Structure 1
Amino acid sequence: MIYLIIVSVIWSLTFNLMNYPQPNLDPNFIVFLRILFPLPIFMFFINTTKLNKKLILGFVALGSIQYGVTYITFVKAYLYIDKDIHYAILFLSMVPIHIALIGMVYEGKLSYVNLFTSVASFLSILLIYNDHLRFNSKILESFAFAQIANFCFAYGQVTYKRIQEKLPGVKDSDVFALMLLGALIVVMIATTVSGGWNFLAQVSHKQFGVIFYFGTVVSGVCMFLWNKGACKVTDGTLAVMNNFKIPLGVLVSTILFQQKTDLTKAIASLAIILICVFIQQRYEKNRIITDQYSSVKT
């Protein structure tokens, strides 16, 4: 779980950069740069000797979904709500529910514990942002695009986890460049459609620095570590940990950057998520003990 915690802390420190002014740039072009910057780094580690063509194409396709489609649809959702960070975060906090449901489909059975903790983690975020809710047609359209993004991101995590379980000789660093390549293909198509290539000359030095940081660290190293961490925990724990960064980010914004937020709600939200993680850990421990007892008995 250490990888998930490290990434959550890093992501929580980026909350104040999410609304950095980039009015003159095409959003799809920004996403293209964010995917492009980390690609050369991970190309140094790519190793396909243990993969057949089907697996190579599978990782490319998975990356196009988990990162490419996720980013493009989330940007669309973000623009519909006029870049309101509160709605954006609230909509993203439904990822745990998607992970729980997709995991149950893969396992072929219902898990009330996973469903309960994933819903509880979402409600903990709703606790922070419920005062900002204002419904209109744009909000509903944004919500729809956000759920597509959530599903794609959740599907990528859960599917990657299961693929890697079947490939013990393949390291995460061997295939991550393939996933970035898949994402880059999707984003290039979206950028071409939106005419984003015309904005290359308009990127300022400050904008380049922020995008470079988001690309190499947030979209590169962090996404790599997140998938690596996902392989080491259960679906239920992974689902809840997807929301860990949110109350953490609110606390960081309040304490370090002096932003006005309700600290009580943020602390309560963080406590709920930690309790959900504890429930998942105990549930998994009890399940392992039960399985061992059953195997000995038989």
Structure 2
Amino acid sequence: MALLWLITILWAFSFSLIGGYLAHSVDSYIAVCSRMLLALLIFAPFWRPLAWRKALMLMATGAVEIGIMYLFLYKAYQYLSVPEILLFTIFTPIYVSLFADLFARRWPRQFWAPALLAVAGAAVIRWTDLSESYWHGFALIQAANACFAFGQVWYRHQSKDTNLTHRARFAWFFLGAFIVTALAVLMLADWNRLPVTRAQQDVLLWLGIVASGLGYLGWSYGSTKVSAQQLAVMNNMLIPAGILVNVLLWQGQVDWLRFGFGCVFMVVALWLCRRQTSSSS
């Protein structure tokens, strides 16, 4: 759980960095593909040959969880503000719980309570006035949420029957993500919107090497060490963390009363996770 908290703090910077430096000046397909290429280069030295079925599974996981997810997410910045994007990510725990149930072939209704509490807490914290084009952005974010949730659960599922190190797995993982984003660049990119300033390039280096490469390695490893319900709740901890970063570093505004109430919901959700996991073990 401590590793998931650490990665949450690391990722809390990403939304504001994307919205402030990339979203309206750098082509979204080029930005995403650049991140995937940088992350792939980190793990390329750890590449190991695999049976074709396992290799394709890992590549498909990376393509869905990271590649396609980011294509949807970056596109949503054209229609939504950073606060709106944070707001619409509150449904990710629901998708995590849903896919975890489907993979386990179960329907334990009591395990949905923590995910619903996490959504309620995030909604209390981040609810804001919505722009006119929010329905289009909402659909894109939900597609991104579903891809991210599915990939997390699928990675956990694959980790049960393999002794391959996470570093070696991520060489295949990011290869899949890079292939799908490279295809998107070839077909859809606007080459007049390249990252030409030093600030844009530095942000992409940070997002590719640290947030994507090291961040997703840590998050995926951490996700195999907690219950599916704890993982679902931790997906929404990014919202209060992102708000704190925005307030402390970018002088953002926050309603501290709502922030406090929302955090209480999330703490209760984590407590329920621990209690239900203990009682079921």
Q: What TM-score results when the alignment is normalised by the length of structure 1?
A: 0.88
Q: Is 1:114–1:235's contact at 8 Å kept on the other side of the alignment? A: no
Q: Percent identity?
A: 28
CA–CA distance in 2 between the matches of 1:250 and 1:31? Answer: 23
> How do 1:73-222 and structure 2 match up within 5 A?
73-81=72-80, 84-134=81-131, 136=132, 138-167=133-162, 169-200=163-194, 203-222=196-215
Which position in structure 2 is the counterpart of 1:61?
Answer: 60
Which position in structure 2 is the counterpart of 1:294?
Answer: none
Look up the equivalent residue of 1:273 and give its one-letter code.
M
Which position in structure 2 is the counterpart of 1:229?
Answer: 222
Radius of gyration: which is bigger? 1
Aligned-CA RMSD value: 1.7
Moved more, 6-15 or 32-41: 6-15
Three-state SS of the structure 1 residue aligned to 2:201 is: helix
Aligned-pair distance for 1:18? 2.9
Three-state SS of the structure 1 residue aligned to 2:150 is: helix
Q: What TM-score results when the alignment is normalised by the length of structure 2?
A: 0.94
Q: Which string of whole-angstrom CA distances, capped at 9 and with x for unpartnered residues, describes residues 174-227 of structure 1?
A: 110111111111111111122344544x52111100111011111111011101
Look up the equivalent residue of 1:204 and give its one-letter code.
T
Q: Is 2:156–2:224's contact at 8 Å kept on the other side of the alignment? A: yes
Look up the equivalent residue of 1:28 and give its one-letter code.
Y
Which position in structure 2 is the counterpart of 1:11?
Answer: 11
Which position in structure 1 is the counterpart of 2:44?
Answer: 43
Q: Which runs of 5+ in 1 are unaligned?
A: 289-298
Q: Which string of whole-angstrom CA distances, capped at 9 and with x for unpartnered residues, describes residues 76-112 of structure 1?
A: 222123xx01111111121110001111111222222
Which position in structure 2 is the counterpart of 1:246?
Answer: 239
Aligned-pair distance for 1:252? 3.1
Q: Which runs of 5+ in 2 are unaligned?
A: none
Look up the equivalent residue of 2:143 and give its one-letter code.
I
Moved more, 224-233 or 245-254: 245-254
CA–CA distance in 1 between the matches of 2:6 and 2:123? Answer: 24
The alpha-carbon distance between structure 1 residues 251 and 39, as it changes in their structure 2 partners (threshold 3 A), is same
Q: Is 2:3–2:219's contact at 8 Å kept on the other side of the alignment? A: yes
> How do 1:22-37 and structure 2 match up within 5 A?
22=22, 23-37=24-38
Aligned-pair distance for 1:271? 2.4
Moved more, 191-200 or 7-16: 191-200
Q: Is 1:248–1:270's contact at 8 Å kept on the other side of the alignment? A: no
Look up the equivalent residue of 2:138 and give its one-letter code.
F
CA–CA distance in 2 between the matches of 1:225 and 1:208? Answer: 24
CA–CA distance in 1 between the matches of 2:40 and 2:55? Answer: 16
Aligned-pair distance for 1:257? 4.1
